Structure 1
Amino acid sequence: MKLGIVGLPNVGKSTLFNAITSAGAESANYPFCTIEPNVGVVSVPDERLDVLEKMYDSQKKVPTAIEFFDIAGLVKGASKGEGLGNQFLSHIREVESIVHVVRCFEDENITHVEGNIDPLRDIEIIDLELILSDLEIASKRLAKIEKMARNDKSLVKEVKVLKKAVEVLEESKPVRSLELSEDEAKLMKHYNFLSNKPVLYAANMSEEDILDENNNEHIKVLKDYAEKEGSEVITVCGKIESEISELDEEEKDMFLEELGLKESGLDKLIKASYSLLGLISFLTAGPKEVRAWTIKKGTKAPQAAGKIHTDMEQGFIRAEIVHYDDLSDSGSMTAAKEKGLVRLEGKDYVMKDGDVVEFRFNV
C-alpha cells in the first residue's frame, strides 16, 4: 500500500513523515525543503502476529507494510509551473491514496504560505491544482479518442467516460465526485487521475488542542467538509508524534496514557487508510514464520493465495481456515480442530479479516 502525504508548504508534512517513518526527511521552516519524494516504509502493528509467533514458536514475524511518500509542498499555480511546478504531480500518480495534511495550529514562528490558518482554503488550493492537471490530460485524451472512435466503435464507452471527467473537472470538482457504473469506474481508474484518488485528511493540531479537539475552531469546519465529500478526518500532532517516534513500545504506551490519548497518530492513520482503501489482512502461521497479508475486501481464496505466490492461485485446491479469535481462544491449531473450528473452503470463499489460513494447491 502506497500513501502520498501532500499539503501546502509549512503545514507539518515532513515533520509528520519523519515521526511516523523515522526516515529522517529534512524538515525546515521554508517552502520546498522536500524536493524529491522521501519514501518511508512502516510496519503495520498487529498484535495477532505476536500471539501467533508465541503459539507456533516461529523463527520470524513478518507484518504487512505501508509505504509513505512525502511529496513536495504545493502552491497556487503549481499545475502551470509555479513553485516546483509539475514535478510533484508524477509523484502523486504513484500512490493509491492521498493523505492531505491540513494545518490547524497557530504558531507565529512558523510562517503560513498564505498568511493565515484556513483549512478549507488550503484544501481548495491543492484540489484545484490536481483538478487543473487532470483537466489538461483528460481534454487532450478526449480530443484524440473522439477522432479514433469514428472508425473504432469499441472506443465509444471511453469517449463517454472522458466526457464525464472533462465536464466535472471544468466545474472545478474532482473526478472522485462523479457517480459511475462499475464499468465506467474501471475505465476511469485506467487514467490514474489525481483527483480520483481517495483522500484522508490529517488535521495537524497543537499539543493543547489534540487533547481536547473542541478547543480548535477549525476541526468542526474540516470534519463537516470531509463528511459532505465522503472522506474522513484524523487528528494528529506532529510534535507529539515526533516524541513518540523516539520511544520503545512500552514507553510509547505509557506516554500516550499520561497524555490521555488512546492511540498514536500513526495508528489512527493506518486504521483510517485500511478503511479508506477497503483493505483487510489474513494471516499465515507456522514454525518458520508468521505473516500478515493485505488484500481487498471481497477477495476470494484463490486470489488471496496468489498474494503469496502465483502458483498457489493457479493450482488452488482448497483452503484450511480458522479465524484468529477462535484459534487464540483454543490455544493451538490442534485444539481448534478438536472443537470443529477449522474448516475447508473452496474457490468461492470470500476471505475475512483475521482468517488464519493454509492453502492447499497443486503445481
Structure 2
Amino acid sequence: MALQVGIVGLPNVGKSTLFNAVSAAGAEAANYPFATIEPNVGSVPVPDERLDTLRRLADSKRRIATTVEFLDIAGLVKGASQGEGLGNKFLSHIQSVDAVAHVVRCFDDDDIVHVDGSVDPARDIEVINTELLLKDLDAVTKRVERAKRSSKSGDKVAIRHTELFSRLEAHLEAGNVARTFEIPDEDAKEVAEVGLLTAKPMLYVANVGEGDLPDGNAHVDKVREIAAAEGAEVVVISAEAEAQIAELDAEERTEFLAELGLERSGLDRLIHAAYRLLGLLTFFTVGPQEARAWTVRDGSPAPVAAGKIHSDIQQGFIRANVIGYADFVEHGGEQAAKNAGKMRQEGKEYVVVDGDVIHFLHSN
C-alpha cells in the first residue's frame, strides 16, 4: 500500500487548492466551509531523480515510481469532536492515514473568508489540535472504564492496562498529544488499536501567498515557533503557486521555480518531509523491463524489503544481491559494478540502505 498523508486544517486555509495542484484529481475548492465531505484521494509519484538515472543506465523500458496518496479531509471547526460541522465523520477519516499534514493559513486575502474572521495561525493550530485531543481523550476515557471493569476479576493484564490508560488519560488532559506519551513495547499494540489521532506523526504546512516565497512571513514564524516546541517540521508552500506549477512542462517549471527562489516545488518538499517524518527510505529494482522504486521503513531487513515486491519472495528469501546507488552509477550499470567487485551478497540480517539496487534470490 502507498503511504497515505491526510491533509487537515480549518476551512478555507487552502487544503483543496493544494490537493488540486498536487494530485490533478479535481477536488472541489470552494469559498465556503465543508466543500469537501468525503475525503478526495490523489495518488502522486514520489519525485526521485535517481530512478531516471538508473533507467537510463539499464536502458529499462519502463520507469515506475513509488507513490504517496494524499487525502483531502474536510475542514474541521471548533466543536468537531462533539460533532460540529460533521466533525465526527471528518475526524474518523484521519484514523486511516499514516501521517497528517496540517495546513495553516499564513496569507492575507480579503476575498477568501476565514472561518474565524481573521488570520491567526496560533489560534487556528490550537483549534485543530484541541479537537484531535478531545476526540482522543473521549476514546481513552472509555478504554479506562473498560479496563477497570475487567480488572475487578483480578485479571493482571486488565490491571496493567487500567494503569497504562489512566496515565495516558492524564497526559491528554494536560494538553499533551499522544505521540509524546511513552508506551511500553508490550502495550504498543493495545494502544494502537484505540486509533488515537494525536498519535499520528504530524508536520505543518504553512500556506503563504506567492510573494512570500521562499522563506515565509510573520505568520509562518508563529507556526515555526509552535512546531519547534513539538519537535515538528514546517514546510512553507504557496498553494496558489503550486496550482500554476502543476500546469507547466518540465522546462517552464524549472524557470518558474527559479523565479520564486526555489529549487523544488512545494509538493516535492512535502513528500520528502513526509518520508523523513515516517522514517522511510527508497530502494530500487532495475532490469531491462523496468526500473522501479520501492518504499520501506528505515531499519528494515532484506526479507521485509523483498516482501514489498511480493510475499512469496519474502517467504522464499535466499539472499539479496546488492549494489549501492553510487557504485551502480559510477561503474555505469549492474554488470560493470559487479565486475568491479561492488555487488555484495547479503543474507536475512542485512538492513537495507537508502538507494540500494537489489536483486532478490528466492525459492519458488
| Structure 2 length-normalised TM | 0.96
Report how far residue 281 of structure 1 moved: 0.6
CA deviations over 1:66-118 (Å, ceiling 9, x no partner):
00000000111111121123110111111011000000110011111111111
**Which aligned pairs between 1:184-263 and structure 2 lie closer than 5 A?**
184-213=187-216, 216-263=217-264
* Deviation for aligned residue 1:182: 3.4
User: Which residue of 2 is the match for residue 86 of structure 1?
Assistant: 88
Computed over aligned residues only, the root mean square deviation of the Cα atoms, in angstroms, reads 1.3
> Aligned equivalents of 2:203 and 2:142: distance in 1?
29
Structure 2 match to 1:312: 313
Match of 2:175 in 1: 172
Shift of 1:65: 0.3
Q: Which residue is equivalent to 1:153?
A: 156
Structure-2 separation of matches of 1:243 and 1:199: 26
Deviates more, 1:99-108 or 1:151-160: 151-160
Could you tell me which residue of structure 1 aligns to residue 123 of structure 2?
Answer: 121
Post-superposition Cα deviations, 1:255-292, rounded to whole Å, max 9, x if no partner, equal 11122212110011011000000000110011111111
5+ residue gaps, structure 2, are none
Rounded to whole Å, the distance in 2 between the matches of 1:159 and 1:286 is 54
1:45 & 1:211 partners in 2: Cα distance?
20
Secondary structure of the structure 2 residue equivalent to 1:84: helix
Name the CA distance, whole Å, in 2 between partners of 1:156 and 1:270. Answer: 42
Post-superposition offset of 1:189:
2.2
Amino acid at match of 1:336: A
**Count of aligned pairs:** 361
Q: Answer whether contact 1:161 1:187 (CA < 8 A) is retained.
A: no
Q: Give the deviation of 1:311 after TM superposition.
A: 1.2
Q: Which moved more, 1:244-253 or 1:37-46?
A: 244-253
Q: SS at 2:213's partner residue?
A: helix
Query: By how many angstroms is 1:212 displaced?
Result: 4.3
**Matches of 1:209 and 1:182, distance apart in 2:** 44
**Residue pair 1:102, 1:202 contacting (<8 A) in 2 also:** yes
Report which stretch shifted further, 343-352 or 180-189. Answer: 180-189
**2:50 aligned partner:** 48
1:112 alignment partner AA: H
Whole-angstrom distance in 1 between the partners of 2:9 and 2:232? 16
| Pairwise CA distance, 1:177 | 2.2
**Cα displacement string for residues 155-196 of structure 1 (whole angstroms, at most 9, x for unaligned residues):** 333333312221112223211122333334443223220011
Instruction: Give distance in 1, aligned partners of 2:215 and 2:100.
Output: 26
Q: Secondary structure at the match of 2:357?
A: strand
> Distance between the aligned counterparts of 1:76 and 1:110, measured in 2?
19
Picking from 28, 33, 36, the partner of 2:35 is 33
Q: 1:41–1:66: 8 Å Cα contact kept in structure 2?
A: yes
Q: Are 2:214 and 2:236, in contact at CA under 8 Å, matched by a contact in 1?
A: no
Q: Give TM-score, length-normalised by structure 1.
A: 0.96
Q: Which moved more, 1:80-89 or 1:232-241?
A: 80-89
- Give the Cα–Cα distance (whole angstroms) in 2 for the partners of residues 223 and 260 of structure 1: 20
Q: 2:327, 2:61 → 1: CA distance?
A: 23
Asked if 1:102 is matched to 2:104, the reply is: yes
Moved more, 111-120 or 93-102: 111-120
Measured against aligned partners, the alpha-carbon deviations of 1:205-248 in whole angstroms (never above 9, x if no partner) come to 011111443xx112222112111101100100011000001012
Describe the shift of the 1:212–1:48 C-alpha distance in structure 2 as closer, same or farther (beyond 3 A). Answer: closer
8 Å CA contact retained: 1:323, 1:355: yes
Matching residue's letter, 2:277: L
Distance 1:362 1:209 in 2: 56
> Residues 157 and 286 of structure 1: is their aligned pair in 2 closer, same or farther, counting only changes over 3 Å?
farther
Give structure 1 stretches of 5+ with no counterpart: none
Deviates more, 1:67-76 or 1:187-196: 187-196
Tell whether 2:335 aligns with 1:340: no
1:196 and 1:354 map into 2 onto residues whose CA distance is 29
> Matched residues in 2 for 1:212 and 1:50: separation?
30
Point out 4+ residue stretches in structure 1 off by more than 6 angstroms.
Answer: none
